[in-house]
Amino acid sequence: MAGARPTGPVVERGFIIAASLPRRTPVTDHRTRFLQLALRVEALRFGEFTLKSGRVSPYFFNAGRFDSGGALAALAGCYADAVEAAALDFDLLFGPAYKGIPLATALACAYAGRGRDLPLAFNRKEAKTHGEGGTLIGAPLAGKRVLIVDDVITAGTAIREALALIREGGGTPAGIVIALDRQEVAPDGPALSASQAVAAESGIPVIAVAGLDDLLAFAGESTELLDQRERLQAYRARYGCRISVQDAPTGG
């Protein structure tokens, strides 16, 4: 994931803040650890960023900045803690191309370090016509309960493709885990966030290591980020989803 930089958003007046919670208390919560890590590696930045939707966001998240072994290992630990907190039943990890591949691989390594050796699979963007052929690589999906690992859900296209591939391969999607949920409604969609829409459509849970609500709480507890909290709150008030995860409809 080395060298990745934002391609969609255009930084108009961006700046980077390296922030942390007060050091007087140890950090044990995976959401706080994740946000601290994201700030440290500059995967999470504050400023003014024009998104593909045309919205001007006060923050931007780019998982491509977790571009070292140490950063990926720490990130995978946050993913594993979030998944374990959700008590999901699964027995295979799937990483959608492209960012989901290193994320799922790192998570598999994290679980191996905790004594659970999980099979891993991922897909190609284009089908291979020679050698083993096809679009799937790694462990067989047939008969497995599959956890999809990705960075974010924007339009949900990659996730929907992954769901179809898993079902075609004989697997059963058990859940989706992402790093950050922006918790905002689509420009022309229903009053649901992208992750809520995918969960409602597929009937499987979407877990986020952290969401915008967590970022707001984190900013409120950090003296270095207090000046960002008002801008985050204004963005949340304007674009945030109005339906809670518990109230969102679910599909079959």
How far is Cα of residue 104 from the mean position of the Cα atoms in its chain? 11
Instruction: Tell me if 252 is assigned to some domain.
Output: no
Is 244 among the domain residues? no
Q: How many domains does the chain have?
A: 1
Q: Which residues contact 174 (CB under 8 A, 6 or more apart)?
A: 88, 89, 90, 145, 146, 147, 204
| Residue keyed to tokens 């190609």 | 124
Question: Quick one: tokens of 45?
Answer: 């930045």
Asked if residue 146 is part of any domain, the answer here is yes
- In a domain, residue 227? The reply is yes
CA distance 227 to 125: 41
Residue 18 lies in a domain: yes
| C-alpha to C-alpha distance for 209 and 31, rounded to whole angstroms | 6
> In this structure, is residue 151 part of a structural domain?
yes
Q: List all residues 6 or more positions away from 244 whose beta carbon is below 8 Å from its beta carbon.
A: none
Catalytic residues: 128, 130
In a domain, 249, yes or no: no
**pLDDT tens-digit profile of 152-178?**
998 888 899 999 999 999 999 999 999
pLDDT digits (tens, 9 = 90+) for 20-74: 333 333 334 999 999 999 999 999 999 999 998 899 999 999 999 999 999 999 9
Q: Which domain holds residue 143?
A: 10-239
CATH number at residue 228: 3.40.50.2020
pTM, full prediction: 0.84
